Structure 1
Amino acid sequence: MKTEHQRTAFITGANKGIGKEIARQLAQRGFAVFIGSRDIAKGREAAEELCHAGYEATFIQIDVTNPVSIRTACGTLSQKADHLDVLINNAGVLEDHGADILDLNAEMLDRTLKANVTGPILVIQDFLEHLQKSHIGGRIINVSSGAGSLTNMQTYAPAYSISKTALNAVTKQFAAALKSQAIAVNCVDPGWVRTDMGGPNASRPVEKGAETIVWLATDAPQSETGKFWHDKQETVW
Structure 2
Amino acid sequence: MARIFITGSADGLGQMAAKILVGQGHGVVLHARNEKRGREAMAAVPGAETVLSADLSVIAEMKKLAGDVNALGAFDAVIHNAALGYQEQGRGNTPDGLPSVFAVNSLAPYVLTCLIKQPQRLVYMSSGLHTQGDVSLKDLTWKERRWSGYAAYADSKLHDLILSLAVARHWPDVLSNAVEPGWVATKMGGPNAPDNLQKGAETQSWLAVSEDVATKVSGRYFYHQREKNFLSGASDEGTQERFLKGCEDISGINFAIKSK
Same fold (TM over 0.5): yes
* Contact 2:221–2:229, Cα closer than 8 Å, also in 1: yes
* Contact 1:96–1:160, Cα closer than 8 Å, also in 2: no
Q: Does 1:216 align with 2:207?
A: yes
Deviation at 1:69?
1.4
Ranges in structure 1 where 5+ consecutive residues have no aligned partner = 1-5, 100-104, 132-137
Distance in structure 2 (CA, Å) of the matches to 1:163 and 1:93: 10
* Contact 1:9–1:32, Cα closer than 8 Å, also in 2: yes
Query: % of aligned pairs identical?
Result: 27
* Contact 1:17–1:206, Cα closer than 8 Å, also in 2: no
Deviation at 1:150?
5.3
Q: Does 1:33 align with 2:28?
A: yes
Q: Does 1:189 align with 2:203?
A: no
Moved more, 224-233 or 212-221: 212-221
> Could you say which residue in structure 1 is the equivalent of 2:111?
122
- Give the aligned residue type for 1:124: T
* Contact 1:27–1:57, Cα closer than 8 Å, also in 2: no
> Could you say which residue in structure 1 is the equivalent of 2:243?
none
Closer, same or farther: CA 64–156 of 1 in aligned 2, 3 Å: closer
* Contact 1:64–1:120, Cα closer than 8 Å, also in 2: no
Moved more, 203-212 or 165-174: 203-212
Distance in structure 1 (CA, Å) of the matches to 2:75 and 2:115: 12
TM-score, normalised via structure 1 length: 0.80
Q: Does 1:235 align with 2:228?
A: yes
- Give the aligned residue type for 1:123: L
- Between Structure 1 and Structure 2, how many residues are aligned? 211
* Contact 2:2–2:209, Cα closer than 8 Å, also in 1: no
List structure 1 segments (4+ residues) > 6 angstroms apart after TM superposition.
none
* Contact 2:80–2:123, Cα closer than 8 Å, also in 1: yes
Closer, same or farther: CA 163–75 of 1 in aligned 2, 3 Å: closer
Distance in structure 1 (CA, Å) of the matches to 2:85 and 2:68: 28
> For each residue in 1:130-184, what CA deviation from the matched residue of structure 2 results, as whole angstroms up to 9, or x when unmatched?
52xxxxxx11000110111359xxx9921111211121111110111111xx211
* Contact 1:188–1:230, Cα closer than 8 Å, also in 2: yes
Distance in structure 2 (CA, Å) of the matches to 1:35 and 1:107: 26
Distance in structure 2 (CA, Å) of the matches to 1:16 and 1:76: 21
> Could you say which residue in structure 2 is the equivalent of 1:66?
58
Distance in structure 2 (CA, Å) of the matches to 1:214 and 1:86: 10
- Give the aligned residue type for 2:155: I
* Contact 1:87–1:141, Cα closer than 8 Å, also in 2: yes
> For each residue in 1:4-54, what CA deviation from the matched residue of structure 2 results, as whole angstroms up to 9, or x when unmatched?
xx5211111100000100111111111111111103212222113323xxx
Q: 112, 119, 125: which is aligned to 1:143?
A: 125
Deviation at 1:215?
1.2
TM-score, normalised via structure 2 length: 0.73
Distance in structure 1 (CA, Å) of the matches to 2:83 and 2:190: 15
* Contact 1:11–1:89, Cα closer than 8 Å, also in 2: yes
* Contact 2:93–2:99, Cα closer than 8 Å, also in 1: yes
* Contact 1:140–1:186, Cα closer than 8 Å, also in 2: yes
Deviation at 1:210?
0.4
Closer, same or farther: CA 23–195 of 1 in aligned 2, 3 Å: same
- Give the aligned residue type for 1:176: R
- Give the aligned residue type for 2:130: G
Distance in structure 2 (CA, Å) of the matches to 1:106 and 1:8: 34
Deviation at 1:205?
4.8
Q: Does 1:19 align with 2:18?
A: no
**Alignment of structure 1 residues 173-188 onto 2, 5 Å:** 173-179=166-172, 182-188=173-179
Distance in structure 1 (CA, Å) of the matches to 2:228 and 2:149: 19
> Could you say which residue in structure 2 is the equivalent of 1:163?
156
